[in-house]
Structure 1
Amino acid sequence: MPEPTHSSDQRAIGTVAMRWHDSSLELLDQRLLPTEEHWITLEGASGVAQCIRDMVVRGAPAIGISAAYGVALAARHAGAGEWKAEIRHAISELAASRPTAVNLFWALQIMEKEFHGCQTLDEAITRLAAKAVQIHREDLSANLAMADYALEFMAADTPFSVLTHCNTGALATGGYGTALGVIRRLHEKQLLKQVYADETRPWLQGSRLTAWELARDGIPVTLNADGAAAAILARGEVKWIVVGADRITANGDVANKIGTYSLAVLARYHRVGFMVVAPSSTVDMSLASGKDIPIEEREGTEVRQIKGIPIAPDSVDVFNPVFDVTPASLIDAIVTERGVVHNPDITGMRVLFG
């Protein structure tokens, strides 16, 4: 099956995070960027789950798409006798890879539903691969729709600067990007003055990935330490902070990369717009508020070291949550491919998401 791409009237995706080859999945090892572009070839669900756990692939939409392909690989390489049990095991293993991003579970639920309709292994191989490709293509289409909705909401007629956090571009999605897709569209419409990219400790997705993506595509970007965001906003040049999301609850609270909450507080103080851009698959209406979101914490070495180089005492305790929760009251707009929720609350969320 061909790799999902834009429709003919859209400009090329450029960077991609994954490549599907029917019997194998290639993932770009994002841990090695920007110094090395290395692709890992996977032929089974266990390898995909390990890559999700190890941050080879990251970003909520990309994790969900990768997991869908993992289920398709489980069918492709299942034994003729116990193929149903093997696929069920693969779904369970993929579901256990990371706890916070709801896109993972959303994609697996779609794949499980497709699997239940399969009567033979050959049918499962065909249908699960087709469904994974469909999930990938629909994510790309959603990215493009979100960019259009966001620009309409911004209603800008002169170029302005934005600030973003973590990586929400083609590397984190099926292509183009969520928050970074909005930034790409601003650039295409000649409405973008400058992007300020937080470095995003401790995994440095902003410096390693966002700055790399934007520079590669000729989009003007300035990299800054996370702690410099307040000083940048105080200058009055930034009109919007645009970020992605890993889970959005029924009242409009948003879980995203650690550091997002502090940006929302800064935005409110400096009267800067705060926009969350994510596909509807990120919305979890089963959770009442951000208090119900399981927040992944990772081990302390990620903070005490950078690429194996110690920057803190080995014995020091570390608090290393991967995400924080931004209250809906600090968010000006949640943008999805279904439309925009302005000043989100439970009423506005129900109107758009039921």
Structure 2
Amino acid sequence: MYDALPESEFQFLRDAFEGYLHIHWWGLVCKRNRRLQPATVEIHPRLSLPQMAKAARVPPSVVRHMVQTELVPSSSAELLSGRHARSIHLSELPGIKTATDGAMTLERAARVLALPKCRVRELIEGDLLTPLVSRKFNRGAAAWLISKSEVDRLHVQAVQAPGNSKSIPVRDILKYWRLRAHEGIALIAAVVDGYLYAEGDDQSPVPIGEANLNAARAKDWLLKHRAEARQDFSVDAAAKQLGVKQQVAYDLVRLGILRSTTVGALGHRVAAGDIEQFQATYISLARLAKEGRRSPRALLDELAASPVCGPSINGARQYFYRRSEIVAQQSCGVS
């Protein structure tokens, strides 16, 4: 269109094409697109992660982590070089600014929630608290960064308690009751979800660590929880079980390939059986390439089986195949 129809009377075609890019093009438009009009480049609504971070006045690691945890939607595609190009629509800028306004470090969040820092880390591990920047998943990050809205969500409204009620703060339960692994997270989730309610003067919400629970009711809840306990995992823990990166596991859950259930404030939980079922049903391109001592890119071109997910299919970060299809192809190859 630009080469074959350069005449001015065809400018309306170029204008229509560039108008279409402005609305529908998922990728970036930049100065290297020299054929486009300067105004088209300047007003294109999609920004790279560094550009969005600069516009929001936050470190790029903040925007990167918000994208990885799906707090901010983005578009991605794999280039011929193997690199991934990712862009974010300008309409997400107000949401990023709102989320990062008043964000606090792990130490400050612990003080505000009246909990030890180790307990706040457990909340992050259990998906009960989602940081904007995690030193665990953002290499080179100077500190953790947690949004004010996430911390505010872990404040609970107290209700008027009977005069003879014997209560105990959540932080004392966590400290003295010798809870088993993950029971502290489950306890806090039960309070946030309203299965256990805080007792008080029914005024402003209180931080979760200072929430006073009826001691007898809390013990009953704990006994019932232990009787009904089943082994399940947060998405992060499921990623460790599967031997994949955190974002890969989130992709699999989002696409429904890795089955999960939503459990109140705990968010997505993956049962042990679902992890076993996934491992028995699917295999990654990276695993196939490693077992065959091949390049993933070369193997991707050679496999006749169709992947169920991947960068060029649905934006997932890794390609996964059905094991049955791979086995069938290998059988045909042998015969």
Which structure has the larger Rg over C-alpha atoms? Answer: 2
> Normalized against structure 1, the TM-score is what?
0.23
Higher helix share: 2
> Normalized against structure 2, the TM-score is what?
0.23
Q: Which has the higher contact order (CA 8 A, sep 6+)?
A: 1
